[in-house]
Each structure stands twice: as structure tokens, then as C-alpha cells.
């Protein structure tokens, strides 16, 4: 039982890190970045390369973030920026980009599954059971992401501009906020977070060119059901992520993988604002 | 007589006849081509094309849902997969025979329709966004594939089903059958999308909110379209599996779903031909290329998709059309003639209460935007709602037209309580709402916009395009006075701001409303346009006995036309009285000029 609880919390932590990047892009641009899964994969391969080069893990994670952020910035500047007026086309174009990135990775690294050594191995003794130490680290990582995020949004000038753009882009522009810069930076940070989460997943799962895809749909639905705030996203991740773990453990893993998508769709149908306060 | 608009009836018929004959001729040529083609092609090519024909049928369904209705769907592959597996499972379980064929067909159709209904219910409801519908459509094939994976020997799990007995036809005849099926689906789709009903689909894509406020239940329309296209896609899948003798989870996967989108995007969305061109060219090209350079081919497809979206959003067909248009000016179908509709029997009471509001409140948490608003308005009244910015005027309009908006209180339109009903139902009680910013269907012509506005009065045909447009006299008079009558065939996006406003008013009047809500109708109009508007409104109130509620900032305009004025201030009704009383009241001066105490004290 305790193991299930810990599994639920660590899964929620991982889901939170993956979907937070999607959330910030959705908040500012009102689009869902379909290349998010590809950026997760990019981060995982960055971690693979970094660890093969013998870099310490504390450098591998920032390297992954930077690679993702760079890819994100390029994407925003070359593709997404031209499609502001056509949001559905924007998500389709990011989907196309996801395919392109996936194939490029396949061409460079091959399609075989690879493994990255976990930076922390072994188990810790927690409340009387042995539990994977690395998964506990993930909880810390999720908390750090949430704290840094909140500080960025509430404590910096960029955060203020970003919140202004989220609330009312026209007004923000009128007040002299350079909204295209905000969009560029947001997209870069969102993609960086995707890559960061990719790097954090690698010790838990294998690395392959399509590894990001299974996470994508869950992350989409979590963002939709959260209604756009970081706090409700955390709540959604804990509730639905926990449910996923319970279903996977006690019913069947395949159904578990679909739990988030199906539950979120039903929640949204009954309560269109999701978990957000009315 | 508005009847005698351009083009004599004889000419119109002749035009229609020659068009119809050329269409029939084209159909015969295509049929002949399909029948003869197998004699010229090698077996490998025939094999590829048979599959491509079935895939193209699925691509047409994507085009209708996405290109015409505006929902980007990744999920049509799921319905295709349902057709594939319905056949494979039943032939595997029960063998091949005539009742098994019927059972498989019925299963495909019923399962696809059921899944589509659930998907539609989850995707389309008042307040759902196109983005959300798109994500739900992505979930559907993913769920289905997982179900197939966990189905054990029944579904064949990840390796699929193979080795069941199926139809025994010659390659050439399969080719003819599949080709003719594709041609038939294409013809039906072309007729349906060009019919008057097809215009409604485009209207949904252009402006869902305006459709709702024209009394159209947009969610139901979208669900019906999804169910119909799902059935067609399932039948295409049925054919695909019947020919191939294989069912694989890839047939239902979202990868195939996105492949269908790419086909439509490359070929040209919103044109049936584009979907076919895209599907056939990608299927053929990938058959030749994917074997020799698998990853590079996927890479090329991805890059091509991005390039097409950025540079040529209307795809190959769009490029060709643009080149052709240089040569010949595009013709927008037969010309439309206006005809006044026979007026329904005069409504019961000429001075009945048309709007009744009691104890209306709207709160956001602890903030109350409207509080205790209470008034009644009769027919033939022209009531102006004035007040400073933030007084709650637009919110009040919203609460009158959408039952789900208000927090507390009672609203009745033409004697019907609006309860918690969505706008399309409230409109059917006799409400018409004109938005502040002109809200029309940008890619539809003026005549088409007006016809869509008549949808809930005159059911549009699924097959034909009518050349006569029946409108109520009030709408015709707006069309004629504004000069729209000469531009019926022009796309709404090319109209000036003033003409768009007039068009929207004419559309709202086409609903034959008893109550007309107008939100700052004169904003941004020239002086002449404003005067014309004033004349139209007063005529509507006095002659057609409409109850008009108008939000307006221009006090001179209000004074000129109103029969009564309500002043809204900080969410409450501050004054309600005749034009004279209000205009000279101290409060109005205070609100509008800010010279409070001095003036009001001097008066008292």
C-alpha cells in the first residue's frame, strides 16, 4: 500500500514536470505544442550523450534543458510565430516538426533502445519499506520546478510581462509589453522543461526515438483539465496520476495508461472549466 | 420588386443545365477511366492503387470534418480501424459467407456510429474549444489501439489478424470496385458540401458563435457530421481489409490518423478533390519510397507538411486554382434572387411584454457585476441601455440571450422563461442578437450568410443549391437600403465595416425575431450610415413591432430614436424613464460629464 502511494506521488511528480512546460506555452499562446513529445526525446538523448561523454549528472540536466530551450526558440522563430492567427495550423505544424525531429534522431542515433545509468542507484528505507532513491529525487525535482516557476512568474519583470500577456495580450501590447519576445522566451522555457523531463525520465525507462509519445496525451489532458494554473496542474497530476497508478497496479497496466486521458475527458465534459475555480 | 434581381430565370436555368451536363459527362469519363485503367497498369501499381482508393475515402471524411467544419481530427483512423477489425474478427470467428458479410457490415456501421457518438458528445458541447476537440480526437485511436493490443487472440493483439477467408475477386475487378466506390463517395461529398446544407458546415467553421445565435445547435450538427463521416470511414476500412485480408493495429493508429491529415493538407483542405489527390499521391509515393529509404521518407513527409502549412495553406489544389484564376475569373455559382417570405400569422398580442427581467444578478466570486436588475419591455418599444464603461451593459445583454450566464434571477423572452438554456434555444423563442463587432461568416457570400441565417426556419436542402432566397421583409429592406443587394455574390470578408454591420443586422432580422438586442451598432460607422441605421431601427420598432434593446454610448443618437431609456450604473438600474426625463436628469449628467455635486445640488 505504501509502495503504491509512493508510486503515485512520484508518477505525479514526473507528470507535473512534463506538463508544466506544456502549460506555460498553452497559457501564453493558447496552443498546444505537439512537438512537446519530440522535445522530451531530445532531452533524453542529450542526457544520453552527456552521460556517455562522462559529464556529471548535475551538468547533464542543465545541458538537456539548454538543448531543449534552443530547439524551442528556433521552432518559435521559424514556425510557430508565422501561425499566430491560425492556432489549429500551429499545432499541426508542431506535429510535423515532431515527426521531423523523431526521424532525425533515428537517422543519427539509430532506432535501437539505449540505456542511461541512473545518477543515484539503490534504495532508501522509507517508512519501513525499501524504495527507489531516484524516484524520491523526482519529487524534489518537481518541487524545485514548481518553486522556480512561481518565483519567475511572480518575482521578475519577465514574469510580470508573461502574466500580462496571459491575461490580455492586446492590452499588454498596448502598454508596451513586447509580446513576441514573451512568446519566444516562453516557448523556449516550455521546450526546455520538456527536455529536462526527458533527461529525468531516462534512468527510469529506456531511450528510443519515440519515447516521448506515450507521455504526450496524458500531458495534454492534464493541461486541459487544469484550466491553466500551476496549482491546479499540480492537483490534477496528483489526482489523475494517482488514479493511473492505482488502476495500473490493481486492474491492468494498459487500462492504467489510458486512465488520465479518459478521466480528464469525462471531467471536462461535466465541468468544462476542469479543476480551475469558476 | 426585389424579385427581379440580376439574370433572367431562363439564363439561370440554362447555366444550371450546362453545368449539370458537364458534371455528368465528367462522371462518365471518370467511370470509364477507372474501368479501363487496369488494362494499362502493372499488377504492383494496381495493388497499391486499390489500397490508396480506400484510404482516399477515409481522407475525404477527414477533409469534411476538418476542411469544412473546422475540427482538426486525428481520430478518423479509429473509425477506419473499426471497419477493418469488424470484418477481420467476424470472418475469423465465423468464417466467410453471406450472413457473415452482412453481420460484419452491420457491426462496422453500428460500432463506428456508437464510438463517433460518444466521441462527439465528449468533444462538442457549448463552451468546448476546437483545440480540445482536436485532442479528444487524438485520444480515440490511442484508446482503440490499446484495446486491440489487450484483446488476445480475439483481436490478434499486436500482430493483428491474418489468414481469414475473404472475397475472391480478380485484381482488376477489385480496382474497378474500389475506384468506383471512391468516385461515388467523392460525388456524394461534392454534392453535399456544395448544397445549402454544406454552407452551414462552412458557417460552423467560420463562426461557431454566430451560428449559435442564429438558433443553430452547433454541437448537434458537428456530432451528426462526425457520425456520418465515421460510418463512411468504417466502410472504407471494411473494403481495405476485404481486399488486403489483413487487419493490423496500425490501421487504427493515430499515426495513420495524422497521415490522413497530411494527405488532406498537402492536397488542399476544404476541397474534396484535394483530399483525393493528396491521398493517392502520398500512398503511391510511399509505396515506392518507404521501402528503400524508410526514415528519410518520413522526414520528407514531415518537412513537406510544415512547408505546406507555412507557405501554401490551401495545398496543391489551392496552388493550381490560384494559377487558373489568373486565366479566368472565378465564378461563384448561380446568382441568387431575393423573395419576401409570406409573413406568418400576426402574433397574438401587438403590445405583449417581450422582455421580462426580475432580480437579475451576475457575480464573479464576491464581485457583482449586475445586481437586482428588474425591468419589462413591450413590443414596439425601442429601449436604450446607457451607462458608463463597466456598468454591466454588455453583461446584461449576455444574460438575456444565454440562460447559463446569470447567477440569479428570472428572464423571459416573448413569454418563455429562458431558464438555463443555451443561446440557440433562446433564439428560438424569438430573440435576435447583434454583436458589437460585426460577426458574419467571412468566407461565405452575402447570400449564403443570409441563407444560413434562415436555417432554423427553412431547412436547407442536402442536395441542391437554391437560386431563390426567401427573406422576411425587414431583412430585405436592410439588404436593399444598405446596397448589399448588388453584392449578394461577394464574400463577406471583402465588405466594408459598415456593410458587414448591415449584413449582420439583416441576418439577425432573417430570424424574424420579436426581440432584438443590439450592442453598440453604430460604433465605427460614418454619419450617413448612422442615420440610415436610425431610420431602419425606428421602422422596425414602429412598423414591424419589434422590441428593440440597444446598448449605446452616443447620447444624441439615443435621444433621437429611443422611446425609453434605462441607465445602468455600477450593475444596478439607476434610472428608467422617458427620453426627456433621463436626458435632463442630474445623474446622467453626473455619470457622463463627471460634474457631480455642484450641478446636482444646484438643481435640488
pLDDT in tens, B89-131: 999 999 998 999 999 999 999 999 999 999 999 999 887 888 8
A231–chain B Cβ distance below 8 A for any pair: no
- What pLDDT was estimated at residue B601? 43
pLDDT digits (tens, 9 = 90+) for B162-171: 888 888 888 8
DSSP state for residue B331 in the 8-state scheme: -
Chain B residue closest to A104 (CA)?
B299
- Partnered with residue B434 across adjacent β-strands are B518
Nearest Cα residue in chain A from B143: A258
Nearest chain B Cα distance for residue A261, angstroms: 7
CA atoms within 13 A on the CB side of A11: 25
Task: Using an 8 Å CB-CB cutoff, list chain A residues near B296.
Answer: 103, 107
**What confidence score (pLDDT) does residue B327 get?**
57
Of A79, A95, A102, the CB nearest to B310: A79
pLDDT tens track for B401-434: 998 888 899 999 988 898 889 899 999 998 999 9
E strands, B308-466, are 337-340, 353-364, 367-378, 382-386, 408-413, 416-417, 431-434
Look at A103 and B138 and tell me if their CB atoms are within 8 Å: no
Query: Is the separation of the CB atoms in B406 and B361 below 8 Å?
Result: yes
Of B135, B150, B299, the CB nearest to A220: B135
Averaged pLDDT, B576-580: 83
User: How big is chain B, counted in residues?
Assistant: 604
Domains by residue range for chain B, with CATH: 26-327 (1.10.3470), 353-603 (3.40.50.300)
Size of interface A-B (CB pairs under 8 A): 101
Which cell numbers in the block locate residue B258?
Answer: 495524422
CB proximity under 8 Å: A 254-273 to B: 254-255, 257-258, 261-262, 265-266, 268-269, 272
Name the phi and psi angles at B217, rounded to 5.
-80, 90
**Do the chains contact at A92 and B72, CB–CB below 8 Å?**
yes
Q: Which residues of chain B does A263 touch, with a Cβ-Cβ cutoff of 8 Å?
A: none
Tell me the mean pLDDT in the region B220-246.
Answer: 95
B4 CB neighbour count, 10 Å cutoff: 9
What pLDDT does residue A205 have?
78
Contact A257 B146 (CB under 8 A): yes
Residue in chain A closest to B121 (alpha carbons) equals A269
For residue B314, CA distances in Å to B94, B188, B318 come to 46, 22, 5
pLDDT band at B248 (very low <50, low <70, confident <90, very high): very high
Q: Nine-digit cell at A143?
A: 518541487
Supply the DSSP string of B221-279, one letter for each residue: HHHHHHHHHHHHHHHHHHHHHHHH-EE-GGGGSHHHHHHHHHHHHHH-TT-HHHHHHHH
Out of A30-34, A149-153, B38-42, B59-63, the most confident range is B59-63
Render each residue's pLDDT in chain A as its tens digit; 278 residues. 788 888 889 889 989 999 999 998 888 888 888 899 999 999 999 988 988 888 888 888 899 999 999 999 999 999 988 888 888 898 899 989 998 998 898 888 877 777 777 776 667 777 777 777 788 888 888 999 899 888 888 878 877 888 777 777 777 777 777 788 888 998 999 999 999 999 988 888 778 777 777 788 889 899 988 877 888 899 999 999 999 999 988 888 888 888 888 898 888 888 877 777 64
Residue A214: which of A268, A246, A253 has the closest Cα? A253
Sequence ranges of the domains in chain A: 2-212
* Average pLDDT, integer, range B283-300: 84
A262–B143: do the CB atoms touch at under 8 Å?
Answer: yes
Partner residues linked to B416 by β-bridges: B413
CB B361 within 8 A of CB B373: yes
Spatial separation of the C-alpha atoms in residues B1 and B281, rounded to whole Å: 52
Lowest mean pLDDT, pick from A24-28, A239-243, B61-65, B71-75: A24-28
- From chain B, the residues in CB contact with A252 under 8 A are 150
What confidence score (pLDDT) does residue A189 get? 92
pLDDT of residue B7: 41
DSSP type of residue B445: B
pLDDT tens column, B540-563: 888 888 899 998 888 888 888 888
Residues of A in Cβ contact (< 8 Å) with B142: 217, 258, 261
Q: Among B116, B133, B73, B135, which Cα is nearest to B260's?
A: B73
Say yes or no for a CB contact (<8 Å) between B131 and A32. Answer: yes
DSSP B395-435: HHHHHHH-TTT-SEEEEEETTEE-TT--HHHHHHTTEEEE-
Q: Which of A174-183, A184-193, B350-359, B529-538 has the lowest mean pLDDT?
A: A174-183
% residues pLDDT > 70 (chain B): 92
Q: Which chain A residues touch B121 with a CB distance below 8 Å? A: 269
Closest CA to A146 of A16, A10, A4, A3: A16
Burial of B543-564, coded b for 16+ CB within 10 Å and e otherwise, reads ebbbbbbbbbeeeebbeebbbb
- B571 or A63, higher pLDDT: A63
List Cβ neighbours of B406 (8 Å cut-off, separation of 6 or more): B360, B361, B362, B370, B399
Any chain A CB within 8 A of the CB of B130? yes
Q: By the 8 A CB rule, do B213 and B507 touch?
A: no
Give the three-class secondary structure for B444. Answer: coil
Whether B261 sits inside 8 A of A92 (CB atoms) is yes
3-state secondary structure A179-234: HHHHHHHHHHHHHHHHHHHHHHHCCCCCECCCCCHHHHHHHHHHHHHHCCCHHHHH
Q: Does B407 touch chain A (CB under 8 A)?
A: no
Distance from CA of A143 to the nearest CA of B (A): 28
Record: contact A107-B131, CB cut-off 8 A: no
Nearest CB neighbour to B135, from listed A32, A83, A257: A32
- Note whether A99 contacts B299, CB cutoff 8 Å: yes
Give the chain B residue nearest A209 (alpha carbons): B295
Q: Do B303 and A266 touch (CB under 8 A)?
A: no
Q: Is the dihedral of CA B551, B553, B558, B560 positive or negative?
A: negative
Which residues are within 8 A (CB) of B28 and not within 5 positions of it... i.e. 6 or more apart? none
Min Cα separation A84/chain B (Å): 11
For B16-64, what is the HEC assignment? HHHHHHHHHHHHHHHHHHHHHHHHCCCHHHHHHHHHHHHHHHHHHHHHH
Bigger pLDDT: B132 or B62? B62
Amino acid at each position: 500500500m505504501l509502495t503504491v502511494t509512493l508510486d503515485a506521488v512520484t508518477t505525479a511528480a514526473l507528470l507535473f514536470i512534463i506538463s508544466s512546460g506544456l502549460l506555460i506555452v498553452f497559457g501564453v499562446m493558447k496552443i498546444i505544442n505537439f512537438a512537446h513529445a519530440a522535445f522530451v526525446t531530445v532531452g533524453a538523448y542529450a542526457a544520453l550523450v552527456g552521460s556517455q561523454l562522462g559529464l556529471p549528472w548535475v551538468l547533464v540536466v542543465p545541458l538537456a534543458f539548454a538543448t531543449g530551450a534552443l530547439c524551442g526558440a528556433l521552432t518559435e522563430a521559424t514556425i510557430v510565430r508565422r501561425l499566430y492567427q491560425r492556432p489549429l495550423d500551429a499545432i499541426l505544424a508542431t506535429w510535423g516538426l515532431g515527426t521531423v525531429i523523431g526521424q532525425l534522431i533515428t537517422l543519427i542515433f539509430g532506432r535501437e533502445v539505449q540505456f542511461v545509468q541512473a545518477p543515484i542507484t539503490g534504495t532508501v528505507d522509507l517508512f519501513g519499506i525499501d524504495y527507489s532513491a531516484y524516484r524520491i529525487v523526482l519529487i524534489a525535482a518537481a518541487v524545485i520546478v514548481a518553486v522556480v516557476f512561481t518565483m519567475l512568474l511572480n518575482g521578475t519583470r519577465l514574469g510580470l510581462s508573461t502574466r500580462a500577456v496571459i491575461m490580455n495580450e492586446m492590452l499588454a501590447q498596448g502598454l508596451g509589453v513586447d509580446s513576441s519576445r514573451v512568446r519566444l522566451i516562453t516557448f523556449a522555457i516550455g521546450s526546455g522543461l520538456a527536455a529536462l523531463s526527458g533527461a529525468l525520465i531516462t534512468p527510469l525507462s529506456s531511450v528510443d526515438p519515440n519515447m516521448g509519445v506515450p507521455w504526450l496525451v496524458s500531458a495534454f489532458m492534464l493541461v486541459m483539465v487544469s484550466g491553466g494554473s500551476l496549482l491546479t496542474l499540480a492537483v490534477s497530476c496528483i489526482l489523475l496520476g494517482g488514479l493511473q497508478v492505482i488502476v495500473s497496479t490493481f486492474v491492468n497496466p494498459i487500462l492504467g495508461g489510458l486512465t488520465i486521458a479518459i478521466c480528464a475527458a469525462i471531467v471536462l465534459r461535466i465541468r468544462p472549466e476542469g479543476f480551475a475555480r469558476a | 420588386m426585389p424579385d427581379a434581381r440580376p439574370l433572367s430565370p431562363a439564363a439561370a436555368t440554362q447555366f444550371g443545365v450546362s453545368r449539370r451536363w458537364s458534371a455528368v459527362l465528367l462522371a462518365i469519363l471518370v467511370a470509364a477511366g477507372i474501368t479501363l485503367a487496369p488494362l494499362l497498369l502493372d499488377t504492383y501499381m494496381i495493388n497499391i492503387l486499390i489500397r490508396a482508393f480506400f484510404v482516399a475515402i477515409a481522407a475525404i471524411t477527414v477533409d469534411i470534418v476538418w476542411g469544412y467544419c473546422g475540427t482538426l481530427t486525428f481520430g478518423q483512423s479509429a473509425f477506419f480501424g473499426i471497419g477493418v477489425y469488424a470484418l477481420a474478427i467476424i470472418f475469423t470467428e465465423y468464417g466467410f459467407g453471406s450472413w457473415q458479410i452482412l453481420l460484419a457490415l452491420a457491426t462496422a456501421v453500428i460500432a463506428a456510429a456508437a464510438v463517433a457518438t460518444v466521441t462527439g458528445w465528449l468533444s462538442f458541447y457549448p463552451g468546448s474549444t476546437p483545440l480540445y476537440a482536436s485532442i479528444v480526437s487524438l485520444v480515440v485511436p490511442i484508446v482503440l489501439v490499446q484495446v486491440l493490443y489487450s484483446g488476445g487472440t480475439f483481436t490478434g493483439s499486436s500482430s493483428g489478424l491474418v489468414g481469414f477467408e475473404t472475397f475472391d475477386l480478380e485484381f482488376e475487378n477489385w480496382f474497378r470496385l474500389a475506384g468506383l466506390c471512391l468516385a461515388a463517395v467523392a460525388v456524394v461529398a461534392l454534392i453535399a458540401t456544395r448544397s445549402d446544407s454544406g454552407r452551414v458546415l462552412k458557417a460552423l467553421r467560420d463562426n461557431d458563435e454566430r451560428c449559435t445565435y442564429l438558433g443553430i445547435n452547433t454541437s448537434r450538427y458537428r456530432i451528426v457530421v462526425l457520425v456520418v463521416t465515421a460510418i463512411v470511414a468504417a466502410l472504407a476500412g471494411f473494403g481495405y481489409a476485404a481486399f488486403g485480408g489483413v487487419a493490423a493495429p496500425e490501421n487504427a493508429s493515430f499515426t495513420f490518423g495524422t497521415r490522413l491529415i497530411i494527405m488532406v493538407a498537402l492536397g488542399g483542405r476544404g476541397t474534396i478533390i484535394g483530399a483525393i489527390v493528396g491521398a493517392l499521391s502520398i500512398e503511391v509515393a510511399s509505396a515506392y519510397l518507404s521501402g528503400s529509404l524508410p526514415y528519410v521518407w518520413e522526414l520528407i513527409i514531415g518537412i513537406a507538411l510544415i512547408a505546406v502549412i507555412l507557405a501554401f495553406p490551401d495545398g496543391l489544389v489551392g496552388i493550381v486554382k490560384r494559377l487558373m484564376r489568373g486565366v479566368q475569373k472565378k465564378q461563384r455559382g448561380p446568382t441568387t434572387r431575393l423573395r419576401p417570405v409570406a409573413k406568418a400569422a400576426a402574433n397574438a398580442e401587438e403590445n405583449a411584454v417581450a422582455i421580462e427581467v426580475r432580480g437579475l444578478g451576475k457575480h464573479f466570486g464576491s464581485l457583482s457585476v449586475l445586481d437586482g436588475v428588474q425591468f419589462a419591455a413591450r413590443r414596439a418599444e425601442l429601449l436604450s441601455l446607457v451607462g458608463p464603461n463597466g456598468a454591466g451593459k454588455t453583461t446584461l445583454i449576455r444574460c438575456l440571450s444565454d440562460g447559463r450566464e446569470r447567477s440569479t434571477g428570472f428572464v423571459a423572452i416573448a413569454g418563455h422563461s429562458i431558464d438555463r438554456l443555451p443561446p440557440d434555444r433562446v433564439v428560438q423563442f424569438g430573440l435576435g442578437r447583434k454583436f458589437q463587432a460585426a460577426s458574419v461568416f467571412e468566407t461565405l457570400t452575402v447570400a449564403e450568410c443570409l441563407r444560413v441565417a434562415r436555417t432554423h426556419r427553412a431547412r436547407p436542402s442536402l442536395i441542391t443549391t437554391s437560386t431563390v432566397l426567401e427573406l422576411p421583409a425587414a431583412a430585405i429592406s436592410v439588404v436593399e437600403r444598405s446596397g448589399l443587394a448588388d453584392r449578394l455574390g461577394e464574400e463577406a470578408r471583402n465588405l466594408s465595416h459598415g456593410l458587414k454591420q448591415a449584413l449582420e443586422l439583416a441576418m439577425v432580422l432573417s430570424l424574424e425575431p420579436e426581440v432584438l438586442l443590439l450592442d453598440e451598432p453604430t460604433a465605427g460607422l460614418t454619419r450617413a450610415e448612422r442615420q440610415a441605421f436610425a431610420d431602419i431601427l425606428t421602422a422596425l420598432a414602429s412598423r414591424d413591432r419589434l422590441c428593440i434593446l440597444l446598448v449605446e454610448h452616443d447620447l444624441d443618437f439615443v435621444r433621437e430614436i429611443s422611446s425609453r431609456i434605462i441607465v445602468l450604473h455600477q450593475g444596478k438600474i439607476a434610472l428608467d424613464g422617458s427620453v426627456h426625463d433621463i436626458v435632463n436628469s442630474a445623474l446622467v449628467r453626473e455619470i457622463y460629464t463627471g460634474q457631480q455635486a455642484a450641478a446636482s445640488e444646484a438643481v435640488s
